[in-house]
Amino acid sequence: MLAALVTVGLLAAVLLGLIWSQQRRLIYFPWPDRLPAASSVLTGSQEVVLPTEDGIHLGGWFLPAQGSSPAAPAVLVCNGNGGNRALRAPLAAALSRAGLSVLLFDYRGYGGNLGRPSEDGLAADARAAQAWLAARPEVDPGRIAYFGESLGAAVALRLAVERPPAALLLRSPFTSLTDVARLHYPWLPVKWLLSDRYGSAARVAQLTVPLLVIAGERDQIVPAALSRRLYDAASAPKRFVLVPGADHNDAALLNGSQTVDEIQRFLAQTAVLAAPGQAG
């Protein structure tokens, strides 16, 4: 009996050790292949390179606002944990038509970039993207919004605390990666296993800018209730939008009419799309 218990314990320890060592493979799902030319995916966009503080050069696409004057408002898009920037092209096109310049970029390890993704690595990547965008002569640095989806919402929130934007837009955000992992792996001691925790609930109280949270009613990966918990912990001004019937990866949460309209309406009420002196 004792021998059997020891064997089970050893097997459990080996399994947990394996999961711990491979955990980032369960968090990050990059498409590492190089992307096609920007203009073939997103008409009017430009290929850009974003240097990070630790020496990695990230690929990105910059799409100027349509019909705008110099020094236009802009949106920095922080992707979720899967795919690459090409998947976010429809959102960029919709935002450009609304009068916003857009920067899409891929994190380290994604879209042909060197490096391996990690929580601190993605934070450095977001800082590099923000610095590049704010320095563009055709962008008004005082009217930049950050948009983050899912895991990218945690990246955008951390950036917003460090370098406050004019507004923060979060789609399917979560309170922490630990809370998400508990939902999907209730049999694992995720609190002790996770190295990258993305503790957004602990950061959102420090947020000082207008916040829009968009959640899918039927999100099976980040339930709307988890997004609502993060929203409830934030200070006003803020707005919560629930997209009926939408699951995590549905087009309705990418460039659906309700999602784009809510973003545009929210930014029109802030210093981003509002004329100077007319934000409210």
**48 within domain boundaries:** yes
- Domain CATH number, residue 102: 3.40.50.1820
What is the per-residue pLDDT across 190-245, written as a single tens digit (0 to 9) for each? 565 667 889 999 999 999 999 999 999 999 999 999 999 999 999 999 999 999 99
Predicted confidence at residue 192, as pLDDT, reads 53
pLDDT in tens, 88-105: 999 999 999 999 999 999
Is 57 considered catalytic here? no
Segment 161-169 mean pLDDT: 98
Token reading at 118? 């990690």
Residue 275 lies in a domain: no
Domain assignment present for 273: no
Mark whether 248 is an active-site residue. yes
Whether cis (ω within 30° of 0) applies to the bond prior to 51 is no
Residue 178 pLDDT grade (very low, low, confident, very high; cuts 50, 70, 90): confident
Domain count, the chain: 1
Question: How far is it, in rounded angstroms, from Cα 163 to Cα 104?
Answer: 18
pTM, two decimals, is: 0.89
Residue 139 predicted with pLDDT over 90: yes
**Vertex 153 angle, CA 75 and 226, to 5°:** 140
The residue range of the domain holding 205 is 2-268
Torsions phi, psi for 170 (to 5 deg): -120, 125
Indicate which residue of 150, 172, 176, 200 is catalytic. Answer: 150
Is residue 118 a contact partner of residue 111, using CB atoms and an 8 Å limit?
no
* Residue 184 falls in the annotated catalytic set: no
User: Which long-range contacts (C-beta less than 8 Å, at least 24 apart) are formed by 199-204?
Assistant: 200/153, 200/154, 200/157, 200/158, 200/173, 200/174, 200/175, 200/176, 200/230, 201/175, 201/176, 201/229, 201/230, 201/233, 202/176, 203/157, 203/158, 203/161, 204/157, 204/230, 204/233, 204/234
> Does the pLDDT at position 124 exceed 50?
yes
- The region of weakest confidence among 8-17, 50-59, 127-136, 247-256 is 8-17
Mean pLDDT of the chain: 87
| Residue 213 and residue 170 in contact, taking contact as beta carbons nearer than 8 Å | yes
